[in-house]
């Protein structure tokens, strides 16, 4: 099966946004064994959209459009696909009713233009969008398929995962399959990971490829075979070898971030957590509570930006801050122990540092962060020096804290 | 002048890298007043490259290719352009000599394939690449222009800035410039914004286009003119009209997110803020502390996930939680007032809700969030119902809170 990806939006041609959606979709298609023939971007212009759609349908079996499904006059993808597929659009009453309810509930007027989002193809159907008002659309004619997806990534990505991928898996049947698994590694740098699995990287099937992320490394193991079972068996055999070499540095498989691994570990052990954050400003607790079900293990956190808050909320002695400075191993430890006591949790995490761009000194430069984990077994503190801007320093600090916590939980007895 | 951007590389079709080069080039071209007609991405395949080049040269005066200029067999852009421009390639002795020196100096063998990078078009010329071994190439024939640039961004971007931009400025003479400004709007939906500025959207110069984001809408005002000054004047005149209609719903211009607008407002007034978050779990404080300099206005926050934490840290009466439930207008208000008192700040924000996917009931469904802002003038609470997954509900709740806070600050006397 051959596909073309068509991004629609003048903002893309003006370079105002980077098309990360298209790259995401391309990766998913490639994993499914669907060959992407071409990617095209056109503006909000019907002639050019239609020319691009017709050209795509000449060379490919499948065209997936991104964007242009909103309610405004600029949003022409719906009409363009109907023309290219020689189909008509009609109002779907259920979707229209859902839209009316949506706006009424919010006390907003139901504009006629909003109902454009309830127009669906006569020979096709709507694709559910749980995160927005514009459903996706499926067009089918003469063996050719058109799929229209909305542009906002928080709507687009779940629809790729939950509709496009399963749909294509069914559609393509068993034409030989490419399967892959990602092993997620924290606490070991990319070069060292590569050193450790170098010999495996020469093999073509299964292949092993490292990808460096912020504060972690992903190893993608990919296998091709006639059947899913065979491909999965190849992957498992290779994964076993990698586990033997990297052990607990592998914190999860697949898409689960490290905060999910931590929440899962705590839930399995019926243990609890609280956090006291200075320079990360709530990023750590935000990441943890991003995980559904975290409320059973995460009791709460203190974002203690000012020195007074460190003392009042978490009980860091004012004299300690005076003597060692707010950015110090002592204060990090007092934060972790204080918040653990305050919330009565199994573990407490404390973070204090200089996120920058201001506030650095020769003794305590931007990027210096102290991270502490308090547990029933005692308290440990790490001093780390990150390079990068404010956002990077904060992200890396939250990442290190999560990995320290994870390793601490693994080490402790139940 | 009309241009097409053609990215070449199988890795782009596989989604292994995101094409930030194309977005960068698109922005530069748009600023120069060159209209980008289309963007296309093809793999390392001569038939498809050639088809894309010929199609581009039919509709555009200029085609700029990105990537495929390396020394390997995969690198086919050079040959493709020569075919499309009906030109021949020959070895440029100076460039070949430079390559030989480059490799010899590094103790590396000079492979025959490396010398492919010294091949230049007979009717065109090479474009200097100070950061790599592959020079760019310029093809010209029959009024059409082809420019080939290498793919590594550290080579590509300087060549766009130092060659492409000046070349096109000379080539186009003074045919004008495109300037644009973004007005960022919160608290008003996309359809309503469009309703309000609909008449302006019919004008071509300056043009006005809305873009929906999570919890906000951006209006882009774009003007073409002979000079930057004239274009900016057109934009300012139009922006003035939009300000008259949308007033304080416009929270900023350009790239600044709403949290930056809030931090700026607070800093201007020497006022302070604290937060008490339940369902957003620190996302609000994380967004605020993401802004450099926020430490002067943000004192701290409490992430109060458990009921006990709501009572212990922020002083929400246990009986109130018992009577109304943790997700209630009463508790939101108690959070805002409690944290304001606790930290002694000008404003306090409280958020409590059901982020999902679990925990919803018929009375209190997933997406129901209460947001409260306490200030010297009193306390207000909003009840909102968001659709979407956990991440979307949390993001929208933090967005609403920031906008409520912003409007409250604007209304209050200094």
Whether B120 shows a pLDDT value over 90: the answer reads: yes
pLDDT at residue A401 in the model: 98
- Distance in angstroms (rounded) separating the CA atoms of residues A299 and A412: 20
Instruction: Tell me the sheet residues that pair with A298.
Output: A273
Q: Quick one: pLDDT band at residue A171, thresholds 50, 70, 90? A: confident
Distance from CA of A357 to the nearest CA of B (A): 7
A309 to B201: CB separation less than 8 angstroms, yes or no: no
Question: What is the residue whose two structure tokens read 């808050």?
Answer: A309
CB-CB neighbors (< 8 A) of A40 in chain B: 38-41
Q: Quick one: pLDDT band at residue A11, thresholds 50, 70, 90? A: confident
Of the candidates B215, B286, B297, B283, the residue with the CA atom closest to the CA atom of residue B249: B215
B306 to A294: CB separation less than 8 angstroms, yes or no: no
Q: Where are the beta strands (DSSP E) in B230-377?
A: 250-253, 273-277, 298-304, 347-353, 368-375
Q: Mutate which of A32, A301, A351, A395 to disrupt the B interface (most B C-beta within 10 Å)?
A: A301
Q: Check if the beta carbon of residue B33 is closer than 8 Å to that of residue B176.
A: yes
Q: Check if the beta carbon of residue B278 is closer than 8 Å to that of residue B349.
A: no
CATH top-level class of B177-253: alpha beta
A41 to B39: CB separation less than 8 angstroms, yes or no: yes
pLDDT at residue A214 in the model: 79
**Which of B14, B212, B388 is closest, CB to CB, to A131?**
B388
By the 10 Å C-beta count (0-12 exposed, 13-18 middle, 19+ buried), A83 is classed as middle
Between B12-16, B159-163, B339-343, the lowest mean confidence (pLDDT) is in: B12-16
Instruction: Tell me the sheet residues that pair with B207.
Output: B222
pLDDT at residue B358 in the model: 87
Domain ranges across chain B: 2-172, 177-253, 258-411
pLDDT at residue A174 in the model: 47
Q: Quick one: pLDDT band at residue A119, thresholds 50, 70, 90? A: very high
**Which of A27, A40, A43 is closest, CB to CB, to B15?**
A27
**Which of A275, A277, A357 is closest, CB to CB, to B292?**
A357
Whether A166 shows a pLDDT value over 50: the answer reads: yes
B40 to A40: CB separation less than 8 angstroms, yes or no: yes
Strand order in the sheet with A177-186: A207-213, A216-225, A177-186, A250-253
**Which of A12, A30, A300 is closest, CB to CB, to B303?**
A300
- A vs B: CB pairs below 8 A: 262
DSSP per-residue codes, A55-100: HHHHH-SEEEEES--SSSTT--HHHHHHHHTT--EEE-HHHHHHHH
Distance from CA of A57 to the nearest CA of B (A): 15
DSSP letter at B34 equals P
Distance from CA of B392 to the nearest CA of A (A): 7
Whether B43 shows a pLDDT value over 60: the answer reads: yes
pLDDT at residue A175 in the model: 56
User: pTM above 0.80?
Assistant: no
Using a pLDDT cut of 70, give the percent of chain B over it. 99
Question: Cα torsion at A94, A95, A101, A107 (round to 10°)?
Answer: -160
Would B2-172 and B258-411 be classified into the same CATH topology?
no
- Distance in angstroms (rounded) separating the CA atoms of residues B260 and B289: 10
B27 to A14: CB separation less than 8 angstroms, yes or no: yes
CB-CB neighbors (< 8 A) of B12 in chain A: 23, 26, 39
The structural architecture, per CATH, of the domain A258-411 is Alpha-Beta Complex (3.90)
pLDDT tens, B275-327?
A: 999 999 999 999 999 999 999 999 999 999 999 999 999 999 999 999 999 99
B365 or B70: which leads in pLDDT: B365
**Which of A24, A105, A154 is closest, CB to CB, to B15?**
A24
B36 to A13: CB separation less than 8 angstroms, yes or no: yes
pLDDT at residue A169 in the model: 84
A71 or B314: which leads in pLDDT: B314
Whether B95 shows a pLDDT value over 90: the answer reads: yes
Segment B159-168 mean pLDDT: 91
CB-CB neighbors (< 8 A) of B55 in chain A: 55
pLDDT at residue B174 in the model: 52
SS3 B315: coil
Q: Quick one: pLDDT band at residue A176, thresholds 50, 70, 90? A: low
Segment A371-383 mean pLDDT: 96
Segment B49-73 mean pLDDT: 93
* Superfamily for the A2-172 domain: MoaB/Mog-like domain (3.40.980.10)
- Average of per-residue pLDDT values in chain B: 92
**Which of B25, B211, B395 is closest, CB to CB, to A15?**
B25
Segment A155-162 mean pLDDT: 92
A11 to B211: CB separation less than 8 angstroms, yes or no: yes
- Average of per-residue pLDDT values in chain A: 92
């Amino acid at each position: 099966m051959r596909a073309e990806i068509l991004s629609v939006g003048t903002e893309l041609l003006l370079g105002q946004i980077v098309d990360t959606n298209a790259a995401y979709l391309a990766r998913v298609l490639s994993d499914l064994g669907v060959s992407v023939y071409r990617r095209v971007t056109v503006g909000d212009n019907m002639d050019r959209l239609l020319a691009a759609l017709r050209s795509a349908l000449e060379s490919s079996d499948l065209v997936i459009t991104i964007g242009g499904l909103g309610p405004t006059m600029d949003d022409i993808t719906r009409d363009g696909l109907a023309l290219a597929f020689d189909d008509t659009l009609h109002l779907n009453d259920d979707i229209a009713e859902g839209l009316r309810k949506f706006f009424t509930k919010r006390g907003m007027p139901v504009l006629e233009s909003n109902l454009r989002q309830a127009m669906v193809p006569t020979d096709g159907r709507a694709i559910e969008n749980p995160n927005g008002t514009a459903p996706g659309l499926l067009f089918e004619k003469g063996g050719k398929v058109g799929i229209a997806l909305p542009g906002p990534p928080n709507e687009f990505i779940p629809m790729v995962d939950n509709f496009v991928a399963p749909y294509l898996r069914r559609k393509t049947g068993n034409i030989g399959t490419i399967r892959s698994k990602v092993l997620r590694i924290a606490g070991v740098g990319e070069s060292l990971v590569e050193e450790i699995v170098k010999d495996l990287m020469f093999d073509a099937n299964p292949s092993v490829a490292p990808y460096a992320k912020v504060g972690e490394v992903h190893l993608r193991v990919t296998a091709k075979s006639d059947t899913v079972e065979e491909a999965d068996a190849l992957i498992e055999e290779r994964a076993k070898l990698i586990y033997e070499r990297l052990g607990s540095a592998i914190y999860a498989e697949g898409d689960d971030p490290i905060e999910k691994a931590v929440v899962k570990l705590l839930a399995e052990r019926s243990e609890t957590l609280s956090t006291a954050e200075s320079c990360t400003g709530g990023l750590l607790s935000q990441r943890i509570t991003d995980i559904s079900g975290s409320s059973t293990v995460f009791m709460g956190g203190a974002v203690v930006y000012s020195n007074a808050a460190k003392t009042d909320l978490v009980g860091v002695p004012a004299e300690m801050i005076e003597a060692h400075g707010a950015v110090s191993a002592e204060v990090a430890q007092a934060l972790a122990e204080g918040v653990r006591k305050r919330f009565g949790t199994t573990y407490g995490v404390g973070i204090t540092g200089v996120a920058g761009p201001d506030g650095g000194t020769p003794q305590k430069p931007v990027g210096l962060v102290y991270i502490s984990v308090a547990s029933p077994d005692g308290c440990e503190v790490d001093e780390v020096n990150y390079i990068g801007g404010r956002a990077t320093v904060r992200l890396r600090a939250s990442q290190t804290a999560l990995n320290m916590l994870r390793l601490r939980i693994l080490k402790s007895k139940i």
